[in-house]
Homo-oligomer: A and B are copies of this chain.
Amino acid sequence: MAQAKYQQIADRLREQIDSGQLAPGQRLPSEPDLVRQFDASRNTVRLAIALLTNQGLVVTRQGLGSFVTEPAQPFTAVMSRVHVQPAGRQAASTLPEVGNAPAEVRTSRQVVEKSPASASVADKLEIAPGDLVVVRRRRGTIGSVPWMMMASYYPMDIAAGTELELAGDIAHGSVRLLAELGYPQVGFADEIGARMPNGQEFAFFGLSTGTPVIVVNRTAYTPDRPIRLTRYVYRGDRVRLSHEVGSIPARFHNG
């Protein structure tokens, strides 16, 4: 046998999806149908469907059937917009702007805790792993769609005894507060990656199998040191990040 039977079934179905013969949202043949069509056992048919599901091409719903994934219009998170000439604009907030929100953008009240820094947080903030940091968390929804989780990490020597330790929003934004505390932000570095979601992310976003998340680690700096790490997690099926550099005519913003 050149190729496994479940692979062949998956390939056939993928062809039909790619060609549009099976359109987005359309139901695949039922499992018993596929069993007859390909002369295979039900388990083999289910293996084929699982393959497509994990590639994000198909979603299955118990009692209803398997459906070709319908891509949704993505939201655009504007991560930076820098006009090199004459002067750059720096965000006043760590909250990303949404370029094309079709509904109200809402953000949960900030939850604050102190906890020991993980290895990755410590590395970015240039502190020792296990050192205490202040963590400020919030989650974001657009209309009824959950789209973002974010957490900001502050070194304790900066945050101790300040408004940063208190729950709730910061009056004039954390960038301004940090500047008033003697830590003027002069720039930031974004490190962007993608991975499969953990259980918490899977549940909050209501993801289906085969959907990754986008992770952004944004480190903010004074001329001397890192002063904050903000970690953003976005659902991969509904969000695109936008970074703009240079003098882009306004009419081109966020397509």
What residues of chain A have their CB less than 8 Å away from a CB belonging to chain B? 43, 50, 54-56, 74, 76, 79-80, 82, 84-85, 87-88, 90, 123-124, 185-198, 209-214, 219, 221, 223-224, 226, 236-237, 239-249, 252-253, 255
On whether the beta carbons of A212 and B187 are closer than 8 Å, the reply is no
Cα–Cα, bound, A225→B242 (Å): 18
Q: How many copies of this chain?
A: 2
| Chain B, Cβ-Cβ closest to A202 | B55
Cα–Cα, bound, A216→B255 (Å): 14
Cα–Cα, bound, A237→B209 (Å): 18
Nearest-neighbour CB distance to chain B for A179, whole angstroms, equals: 13
A to B CB contacts below 8 Å, 29 in the list: A50-B50, A54-B54, A54-B196, A74-B193, A76-B191, A82-B88, A82-B245, A84-B84, A84-B88, A84-B90, A85-B87, A185-B246, A188-B245, A189-B243, A189-B248, A189-B253, A191-B241, A191-B242, A192-B240, A192-B243, A193-B214, A194-B194, A195-B236, A196-B211, A196-B212, A219-B252, A219-B255, A224-B249, A243-B243
Knowing A82-B88, A245-B187, A249-B221 are in contact, say whether A192-B214 is a contact too (CB < 8 A): yes
Known interface pairs A76-B191, A192-B240, A192-B243; 15 further A-B residue pairs with C-beta atoms within 8 A, sorted by A's residue number: A50-B50, A82-B88, A84-B84, A88-B88, A88-B246, A123-B255, A187-B246, A187-B247, A187-B248, A189-B253, A190-B243, A193-B240, A194-B212, A221-B248, A223-B249
When distances are taken between beta carbons in the complex, the residues of chain B under 8 Å from A189 are: 242-245, 248, 252-253, 255
